[in-house]
Amino acid sequence: MTGMRLSTWAALRCREPEFQRFLGAQSETEAARTVRTRCAVRSRAELDSDPEAAQRFHQAIRIPYSQYLKEKEPAHV
């Protein structure tokens, strides 16, 4: 993820139905709320300015989401 702020990445993903499914959210608004809750922030902007929040984001959201996407990829024979 070169050059993109974490808050931007999170905002873009929250719009995506697949990311919403991953979070168990029914909408973009609910996905954003879930991200804020799991990362213990009041605003996704804190992901860019608080190193501890960024670490929580990577551990609770980005890494698990990446693994989720890999598991969904069709197996190549």
* pLDDT per position as a tens digit, 22-65: 999 999 999 999 999 999 999 999 999 999 999 999 999 999 99
Whether pTM > 0.85 for this model: the answer is yes
In the chain, where the domains are located: 6-71
Strand ranges, E, within the chain: none
Neighbours of 65 (CB within 10 A): 15
**Residue 77: predicted pLDDT:** 56
Q: Which two tokens stand for residue 45?
A: 């902007």
**Residue 10: predicted pLDDT:** 97
Q: Which two tokens stand for residue 72?
A: 């969904």
